[in-house]
Amino acid sequence: MTYWCPVSARSGRWWPRGAAAPLRAAVVCLAALPLAGCMTTGTAPAIPLFGAYFPSWLLCALIGILGAVIVRLVFIRAGLDDALPIRLPVYVCIAAAIGFAVSLLGFGR
């Protein structure tokens, strides 16, 4: 089965599917480029808690959420919470920043 793809909508010319193979190959290579840094060896860091192993990202997310709650309490006490135009994205970003910082400082990732 042959598929056809347009070269230009204005010219009305068409070319066979196989002629676009170099372009398709370049797009696939560019899309796979960010995966070049991924490793297949090794495991994710795990933390033994209560007799089970939890992934480190779960602990970092929990610390980030708790840190954002503490920051919110400090903002309320200082009167800054009312000045925030969109509170939810601000606190989500604060939680993410704290979680990423804990992950970077605690696990080096």
Per-residue pLDDT of the chain (109 residues; tens, 9 = 90+): 555 555 544 455 555 555 566 777 777 777 767 666 555 555 667 777 777 777 888 889 999 999 999 999 999 999 999 998 899 999 999 999 999 999 899 877 5
Contacts of 17 (CB under 8 A, 6+ apart): 2, 3, 4, 5
56 burial (CB, 10 Å; 0-12 / 13-18 / 19+) is middle
- pLDDT, residue 75, reads 94
Predicted confidence (pLDDT) per residue in 50-74, tens digit = 777 778 888 899 999 999 999 999 9
Q: How far apart are CA 66 and CA 98, in angstroms?
A: 9
Residues with Cβ within 8 Å of residue 4, at least 6 apart in sequence: 14, 15, 16, 17
d(CA 14, CA 29): 25
Question: Which amino acid belongs to residue 83?
Answer: A
Whole-prediction pTM: 0.57
